[in-house]
């Protein structure tokens, strides 16, 4: 389901705020994040564009350069616009494709920008049935300049990634969202600078039989939220990365939220630099077993929200959690066990690195002695337990140590 309007919402705020490491600190890569775009332009202001890019829109950002937005402008007119203008390097070019002249195929021709080049290239379709094709030379002048490619809302069954992205030596990020038939992504050419791949809320990944090219990348961040992927497909993808020592040691962030996982991927401890993991909104086992999450690098974020978790064994979380934030919102936990959480909280409190455990919307039973270790014996640890309430709505912070006075 669309999260916003591709035709009217420029994506540039995300790019501008995070540059080539786009949204590395944001959690949800969805179109409702675009609200930050307008905020950016209000903050830094705009300068007038020297040349006329109509019927496209020109934004001259003093910090980044020209941003050209062509909303439903036909490709021939776009070529004419760039033929008559002289700025060679654009910070970004955003195209909302016009309706196809016949059928459902929308074709982007060779040399769309008439020899000009763009650092960010964004192509969106307002109608999801439109099949996008991009000529091998559509953006060829940008091959030594572009660092970001984005596409959303299109049927990508006819898209040949191996041709139009060939020799894009500086391309660091590919982001595909809310698209159908994205299986041709398996044919990505060698992209030596590619460190970020996001494919979210799309279909077609399940049709890929060979993920071996992932093992030849150096991805630091991999976002696969909302694709309804099952255990087998995710396992195949992660095995391809884990099988390559260089690829396995590069991965720092892995987001697999809102898929159809029923198991915790077994490859986690193969990724020596993994610091952020999101498995929220899956159907994970109700019991999180010991050793389920072993991190070799200091943890930043672990999201396990809305996963149906009801119990966690001791040593389920292993590694350096001094700055780690564990989100267990909206599960079915009835106990907050000392053997599971005390050592984690001690790491967080001692280092004061911002670590926390978020327990919002869990029906914790506070009527027995199992919380005495925290409320009575270690109240200093409560500062790292966030949004924790008893099943009757009483916040942990409001519990009196005296109610546990008779507990062992």
Name residue 395's beta-bridge partners. Answer: 389
Q: Name the one residue in this structure whose structure tokens are 């926390």.
A: 356
Q: Is residue 78 part of a domain?
A: yes
Least confident of 35-39, 108-112, 331-335: 35-39
The contacts of residue 17 (CB under 8 Å, 6+ apart) are 23, 36, 40
Instruction: Supply the DSSP symbol for 120.
Output: E
| Distance separating alpha carbons of residues 377 and 85, to the nearest angstrom | 72
Residue predicted with more confidence, 32 or 205: 205
Of all helices (H) and strands (E), which one includes residue 138?
A: none
| 384 in a structural domain | no
Q: What residues make up the domain containing 134?
A: 1-187
pLDDT in the model for residue 14: 43
The pLDDT value recorded for residue 16 is 37
What does each C-alpha distance from 195 to 25, 103, 146, 147, 276 come to in angstroms? Answer: 15, 36, 14, 10, 15
- Bridge partners for 67 per DSSP: 59, 92
Which burial class, exposed, middle or buried, applies to 367 when counting CB atoms under 10 A from its CB (0-12, 13-18, 19+)? exposed
Q: What confidence category does residue 102 fall into, taking pLDDT thresholds of 50, 70 and 90? A: confident
In tens, the pLDDT along 253-305 reads: 999 999 999 999 999 999 999 999 999 999 999 999 999 999 999 999 999 99
- Give the separation between CA 72 and CA 56, rounded to whole angstroms: 9
pLDDT beyond 70 at 368: yes
Domain count, the chain: 1
- In the predicted model, is pLDDT for residue 182 greater than 70? yes
Q: Is residue 204 part of a domain?
A: no
Q: Is residue 111 part of a domain?
A: yes
> Does residue 394 lie within any of the structural domains?
no
Assigned domain for 276 exists = no
pLDDT score recorded for residue 22: 42
Tokens coding 392: 């009757």
Residue 356 lies in a domain: no
Sorted by sequence, the CB contacts under 8 Å of residue 209 that are 6+ apart come out as none
How confident is the model at residue 143, as a pLDDT?
A: 98
- Residue-level pLDDT at 27: 45
**In a domain? residue 121:** yes
- The lowest-confidence range among 11-20, 76-85, 179-188, 343-352 is 11-20
């Amino acid at each position: 389901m669309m999260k916003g309007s591709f035709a009217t919402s420029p994506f540039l705020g995300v790019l501008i705020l995070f540059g080539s490491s786009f949204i590395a600190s944001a959690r949800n890569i969805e179109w409702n994040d675009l609200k930050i775009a307008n905020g950016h332009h209000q903050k830094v202001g705009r300068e007038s564009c020297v040349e006329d890019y109509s019927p496209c829109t020109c934004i001259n950002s003093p910090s980044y350069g020209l941003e050209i937005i062509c909303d439903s402008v036909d490709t021939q007119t776009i070529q004419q616009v760039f033929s008559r203008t002289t700025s060679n390097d654009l910070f970004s070019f955003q195209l909302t494709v016009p309706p196809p002249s016949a059928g459902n195929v929308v074709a982007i021709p060779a040399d769309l920008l008439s020899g000009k080049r763009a650092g960010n290239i964004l192509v969106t379709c307002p109608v999801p049935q439109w099949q996008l094709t991009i000529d091998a030379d559509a953006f060829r002048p940008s091959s030594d300049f572009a660092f970001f490619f984005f596409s959303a809302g299109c049927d990508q069954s006819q898209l040949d990634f191996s041709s139009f992205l060939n020799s894009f030596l500086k391309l660091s990020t590919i982001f595909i969202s809310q698209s159908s038939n994205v299986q041709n992504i398996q044919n990505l050419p060698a992209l030596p600078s590619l460190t970020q791949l996001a494919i979210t809320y799309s279909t077609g990944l399940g049709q890929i039989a060979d993920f071996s090219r992932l093992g030849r990348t150096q991805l630091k961040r991999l976002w696969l939220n909302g694709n309804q992927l099952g255990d087998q497909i995710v396992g195949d993808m992660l095995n391809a990365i884990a099988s390559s020592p260089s690829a396995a040691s590069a991965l720092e962030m892995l987001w697999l939220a809102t898929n159809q996982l029923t198991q915790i991927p077994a490859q986690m401890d193969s990724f020596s630099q993994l610091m952020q993991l999101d498995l929220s909104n899956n159907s994970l086992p109700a019991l999180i077993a010991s050793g389920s999450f072993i991190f070799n690098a200091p943890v930043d974020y672990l999201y396990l929200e809305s996963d149906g978790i009801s119990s966690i064994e001791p040593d389920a979380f292993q590694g350096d959690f001094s700055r780690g934030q564990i989100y267990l919102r909206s599960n079915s936990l009835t106990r907050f066990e000392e053997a599971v959480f005390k050592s984690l909280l001690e790491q967080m409190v001692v280092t004061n690195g911002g670590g926390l455990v978020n327990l919002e919307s869990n029906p914790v039973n506070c009527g027995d002695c199992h919380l005495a270790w925290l409320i009575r014996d270690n109240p200093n640890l409560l500062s790292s337990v966030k949004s924790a309430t008893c099943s009757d709505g009483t916040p942990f912070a409001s519990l009196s140590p005296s109610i546990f006075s008779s507990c062992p």
